[in-house]
Amino acid sequence: MLSSNNSNKDQNHNSTILVVDDVGPNLELLEAHLISEGYRVETATNGKQALEVVEKSPPDLILLDIQMPGMDGYQVCEKLKGEDHTRLIPIVMITALRELEDKIKAIDAGADDFISKPFNKLEVLARVRSLLKVKYLNEQLDTAENVIFALAQAIESKDKYTENHIERVSQYSMELARSLDLSATDIDAVYKGGQLHDIGKIVLDDSIINKPGRLTREEFELVKQHPLVGYKICHPLKSVRYALPVIRWHHEKLDGSGYPDGLKGDELPIAARIMAVVDVYDALTTKRSYKEAFPPQEGFRILEEEAAKGWWDGDLVRRFKEIRLKKV
Binding site for Fe ion (CB under 5 A): 198
Q: DSSP class of residue 67? A: -
Structural contact between residues 185 and 269, judged by C-beta atoms closer than 8 angstroms? no
Q: In the complex with Fe ion, which residue's Cβ is closer, 4 or 207? A: 207
Q: In the complex with Fe ion, which residue's Cβ is closer, 18 or 204? A: 204
Q: In the complex with Fe ion, which residue's Cβ is closer, 167 or 322? A: 167
Q: In the complex with Fe ion, which residue's Cβ is closer, 12 or 170? A: 170
Distance CA 120, CA 324 (A): 58
Can you tell me whether residue 92 is helix, strand or coil? strand
Q: In the complex with Fe ion, which residue's Cβ is closer, 128 or 254? A: 254
- Find the shortest distance in angstroms from Cβ 281 to Fe ion: 13
Q: In the complex with Fe ion, which residue's Cβ is closer, 174 or 280? A: 280
Phi-psi region of 310 (alpha: psi -120 to 50; beta: other; left: phi over 0): left
Single-letter residue type at 6: N
Single-letter residue type at 156: E
Strand 113-116 relative to strand 91-95, pairing: parallel
- Find the shortest distance in angstroms from Cβ 122 to Fe ion: 54
Contacts with 54 (C-beta within 8 Å, 6 or more apart), sequence order = 18, 62, 80, 86, 89
- Find the shortest distance in angstroms from Cβ 229 to Fe ion: 11
Distance CA 78, CA 283 (A): 42
Q: DSSP class of residue 141? A: H
Distance CA 24, CA 281 (A): 64
- Find the shortest distance in angstroms from Cβ 223 to Fe ion: 8
- Find the shortest distance in angstroms from Cβ 205 to Fe ion: 16
Distance CA 141, CA 148 (A): 11
Mutual angle of helices 165-179 and 121-156, in 10-degree steps: 120
According to DSSP, the residues that pair with 92 across neighbouring strands are 63, 113
Residue nearest to Fe ion (CB): 198
End-to-end alpha carbon distance in the chain: 67
Q: In the complex with Fe ion, which residue's Cβ is closer, 39 or 231? A: 231
Triad 204, 205, 208: Cα angle to 5°: 90
Q: In the complex with Fe ion, which residue's Cβ is closer, 71 or 151? A: 151
